[in-house]
Amino acid sequence: MNETRTRGQVEAEITAAITQFERDHLGRGPREARTFIVQDLVLVRLKGILTPAEQQLAREPGGVELIKQMRSRLIEASTAVLEQIVSEKTGARVLSMHTDISTRTGERIFVFDLDDVLEL
């Protein structure tokens, strides 16, 4: 990790890059985004990511499962891109990525497990 950057700067860089990823790959960005670095974990919280159509679909029978399945497949297809973003911004290798989406709140959480504790 570049020691001249603060934790807040690295968190902001990750937030900006993940937000841009959402816009470029999924068609719209979150209403709000925040990143937290906790030792060897990077947590990214995105709020307001569901489209109006997805919000409506979430109220239909089977809609929640359909949204989760579709969004999960889109993210799985882009795992390497997301891991590269976090790796470039932190200087650490990503060991694993975990994600889930709440159709009730319209939030997505990413958790990236790194191979090193970030000392910022």
Contacts with 67 (C-beta within 8 Å, 6 or more apart), sequence order: 50, 54, 57, 58, 101, 103
Would you say residue 119 lies in a domain? no
Domain span including residue 86: 7-113
Would you say residue 91 lies in a domain? yes
Strand 41-47 relative to strand 32-38: parallel, antiparallel, unpaired?
A: antiparallel
Would you say residue 54 lies in a domain? yes
Q: What is the pLDDT along the chain (120 residues), one digit of tens a residue?
A: 446 889 999 999 999 999 999 999 888 899 999 999 999 999 999 999 999 999 999 999 999 999 999 999 999 999 999 999 999 999 999 999 999 999 999 999 999 999 999 987
Measured torsion, CA atoms of residues 74, 79, 85, 89, in degrees rounded to the nearest 10? 130
Q: What is the number of domains present in the chain?
A: 1
Would you say residue 45 lies in a domain? yes
Owner of token pair 């937030």: 15
| pTM confidence score | 0.90
